[in-house]
Structures are given as structure tokens and as C-alpha cells.
């Protein structure tokens, strides 16, 4: 009987030890697991934005540094005008209009509400002045005047806006008007706004000549005579942030307060987009927070000494040597400091290139490696077209070789 009690006590003691051991392990493990879960689920950037939608993009590479619900569909307000400006500069580049051309304001354009510079029907302003009014004062009347000047009607211009948007990969954007007034179906996203902002500043950097002006004037010339009208930039970052270069504000009842802010520092160009901020102060302060984070994080490598390309051999062509060119300059963004001296390059050209070759055909690539890892490449393109040699050309080449 005593032996049975002894055995029972041993079992109870053993069970108690097991319970205490399990409890100790759990006590040690659970906080660590909780901390790990919190660390994994937390925002490593330390950024806490009140605005419901935002994105930070590096302009030269298009790499996204930070995003918060960047694909949520929202009303874009006057940030819409970024696309309007793209089409204006497209038209200038294509030779359809010039900066000194005069634009006549229609009754419809003059009737635009919202932000405006109070253009009158029949009034004439240059394209240059219209761009200034759009960029600085977010003038709806100037937007519609330019849309009609370029495409005949605003609706035709808006169709081009949507086509251009699709070409940029703005798959969640639909424009209904050219100025951003609230309208059913007129929607975009923070990511799409960043994409069109990048297109504007990269393709037409002269936009900064307008978007960085804080105050200026224009002259209204009407039947009543000439009157001076003051212009003030709606983008307060131009005064508040040392490295600001633009770009566009927007606010309506449905859109709340929006901003596409561009800035440049030490060779790094950033785009910070804030959508649906509760107030104007928040959109500017949070854009500054994003830009400061980006500048503290980004390390941009730009290859300013790409290898000289020599001609490559082509078989069965009217010419034996094909001249080549790079598709673009190479740049790469590191999200931490990198030793640029450890970046290596490897030029790879296609073997056995055979005519016909068309100008723009890819004939190789220049690959870039950092610490042995591929970080990007640039295509090598044919800089000319070479036709396939016919029998006469082939025979002539044989005779020339024999004579040599």
C-alpha cells in the first residue's frame, strides 16, 4: 500500500515538473512570437500617414519606395491637369502648337467654375501664359481653352487623355474632363498619378520652369482694356520645402486634398503622391515626410561612362558591319548605401546576326552586376537598317574579297 502511494507521489511530482517546464517554455516563447509577429506586420519605414492613399516613387527608375493603398480608386481633382499638361507639351513637341501661339477663349471655357484666372470669352492669351495659369493657379478656364485649341473640343481632348493614360500603364484611371472637376466616373489612383507625373517631368523637364514659380502676373486684354492679374502657386511646398520642384495640387469636395509633389536633391528625383488627405496642411506635411524618407534612403547609380559600341558583323547583308546604340542610359536605385565601385558590366552581343536587320532591332544587351547579382540591363539596338543582299551584291562581295 505504501509502495502504491510512493508511486503515485512520484507520478504527481513528474507531472508537476512537466507542467512547470511547459509553462516556462511558453512564457519565453509567446512574447518572442508576439514581437516577431508585430515586427513582421509593422511598417519598417516608420511612416504613419493619415491620408488614406499615397505612394513614393523614384523618378528615373520608376521604382516604388513606399506605398499605402496606392491602387484604391479615388477622385483626382486638379491633379488631372498633369495629363492635360502632358498633352500640351506633346503638341508642342510635335510642332502642332508653339509657346508664342495665341489661344482664343471660348464662351464654354470662360464659363468654367472652380479655380480659374477669370478669362473672358474672346480673350486671347499665349500658350506660354496658359501653361503658367494651369501650372501655378490650376486654372480650369485655361485648361479647357487649351483642350479646345489642340483638339477642337474638350471631349476630343479627353479621349486623347485616356489614350495617353493607357499608354503609360495607368490602368485604373478614367478621365471625364480635362480639369478635374468632380464628375461621375472621373477617377484615378495614387500609383497612376505617380506614373503620369513621372512622364511629365522626365519627358518635359521644362515644366519645372513653371511649377517652381511662386508668384507672377498676367495681363487680361479685353474690350475693357488691359488689366493685371496676380498668379500665386497653389503648391505651398515651393516655399516650404527646399528641394521642391513642383508639381500639382488638387482639391474638391469629393477628392478632398490631393498633391503630386516632386523634389530633387543630390541627383535624386522623387515623386510623392498624397490622395484624399483630410486637409491641406496634412497633404503638404505628409508629402514632406515621404520625400525626406526617400532622400534618406535612396542611393542612385547612374552610368555616365557606358562602353563605346563598335560595329558588329552581319552576314548576308548589303553591308557587313552594323552600327549600334544603347536604348537608354542606365540607372539603378539602391534602398541602402552601396559601393558603386563594386558594380560591374558585361556587354553581350548576339552571335550570327543575319540580314535583314531593321533599325531598332535588339542585337544585344549591357548587363550590370552588384556583388555578383544582376541588377539590370540596357538593350543594344541596331542604329540602322541593313537589307538582305541579293545575288548581285553577294557576287560583288566575293570578287572584292578575291581582289583583296
Please list the active-site residues.
78, 81, 138
* Cis? peptide before 356, omega within 30° of 0: yes
Query: Do 280 and 270 touch, CB atoms closer than 8 A?
Result: no
Residue reference for cell 479627353: 158
Would you report the helix, strand and coil content of the chain in percent, each value rounded to 5?
A: 40, 30, 35
CB neighbours of 84 closer than 8 A, spacing ≥ 6? 134, 143, 146, 147, 157, 161, 178, 179
The conformation of residue 89, written as its DSSP 8-state character, comes to H
Query: Cell triple for residue 192?
Result: 497612376
Q: Containing H/E element for 193?
A: helix 190-203
Q: Could you tell me whether strands 353-354 and 312-315 are parallel, antiparallel, or unpaired per DSSP bridges?
A: parallel
Query: Do 126 and 99 touch, CB atoms closer than 8 A?
Result: yes
Query: Do 78 and 179 touch, CB atoms closer than 8 A?
Result: yes
b/e string for 186-225 if b means 16 or more Cβ within 10 A?
bbbbbbbbbbbbbbbbeebeebbebbbeeebebebeeeee
Amino acid at each position: 500500500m505504501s509502495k502504491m502511494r510512493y508511486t503515485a507521489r512520484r507520478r504527481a511530482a513528474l507531472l508537476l515538473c512537466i507542467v512547470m517546464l511547459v509553462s516556462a517554455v511558453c512564457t519565453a516563447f509567446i512574447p518572442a512570437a508576439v514581437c516577431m509577429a508585430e515586427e513582421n506586420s509593422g511598417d519598417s519605414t516608420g511612416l504613419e500617414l493619415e491620408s488614406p492613399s499615397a505612394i513614393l516613387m523614384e523618378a528615373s527608375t520608376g521604382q516604388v519606395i513606399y506605398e499605402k493603398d496606392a491602387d484604391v480608386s479615388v477622385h483626382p481633382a486638379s491633379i488631372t491637369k498633369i495629363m492635360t499638361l502632358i498633352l500640351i507639351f506633346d503638341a508642342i513637341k510635335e510642332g502642332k502648337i508653339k509657346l508664342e501661339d495665341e489661344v482664343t477663349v471660348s464662351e464654354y471655357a470662360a464659363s468654367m467654375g472652380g479655380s480659374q484666372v477669370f478669362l473672358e470669352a474672346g480673350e486671347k492669351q499665349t500658350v506660354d501664359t496658359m501653361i503658367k495659369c494651369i501650372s501655378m493657379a490650376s486654372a480650369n478656364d485655361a485648361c479647357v481653352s487649351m483642350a479646345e485649341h489642340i483638339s477642337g473640343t474638350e471631349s476630343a481632348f479627353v479621349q486623347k487623355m485616356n489614350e495617353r493614360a493607357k499608354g503609360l500603364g495607368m490602368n485604373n484611371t478614367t478621365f471625364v474632363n480635362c480639369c478635374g472637376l468632380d464628375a461621375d466616373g472621373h477617377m484615378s489612383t495614387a500609383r497612376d498619378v505617380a506614373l503620369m507625373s513621372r512622364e511629365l517631368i522626365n519627358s518635359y523637364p521644362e515644366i519645372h520652369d513653371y511649377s517652381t514659380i511662386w508668384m507672377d502676373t498676367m495681363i487680361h486684354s479685353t474690350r475693357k482694356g488691359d488689366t493685371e492679374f496676380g498668379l500665386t502657386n497653389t503648391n505651398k511646398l515651393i516655399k516650404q520645402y527646399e528641394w521642391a520642384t513642383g508639381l500639382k495640387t488638387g482639391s474638391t469636395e469629393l477628392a478632398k486634398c490631393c498633391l503630386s509633389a516632386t523634389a530633387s536633391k543630390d541627383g535624386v528625383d522623387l515623386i510623392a503622391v498624397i490622395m484624399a488627405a483630410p486637409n491641406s496642411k496634412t497633404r503638404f506635411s505628409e508629402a514632406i515626410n515621404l520625400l525626406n524618407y526617400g532622400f534618406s534612403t535612396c542611393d542612385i547609380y547612374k552610368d555616365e561612362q557606358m562602353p563605346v559600341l563598335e560595329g558588329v558583323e552581319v552576314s548576308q547583308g548589303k553591308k557587313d558591319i552594323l552600327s549600334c546604340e544603347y536604348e537608354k542610359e542606365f540607372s539603378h536605385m539602391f534602398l541602402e548605401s552601396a559601393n558603386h565601385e563594386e558594380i560591374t558590366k558585361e556587354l553581350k552581343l548576339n552571335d550570327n546576326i543575319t540580314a535583314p536587320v531593321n533599325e531598332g532591332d535588339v542585337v544585344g544587351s549591357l548587363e550590370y552586376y552588384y556583388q555578383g547579382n544582376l541588377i539590370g540591363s540596357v538593350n543594344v539596338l541596331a542604329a540602322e537598317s541593313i537589307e538582305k543582299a541579293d545575288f548581285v551584291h553577294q557576287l560583288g562581295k566575293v570578287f572584292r574579297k578575291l581582289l583583296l
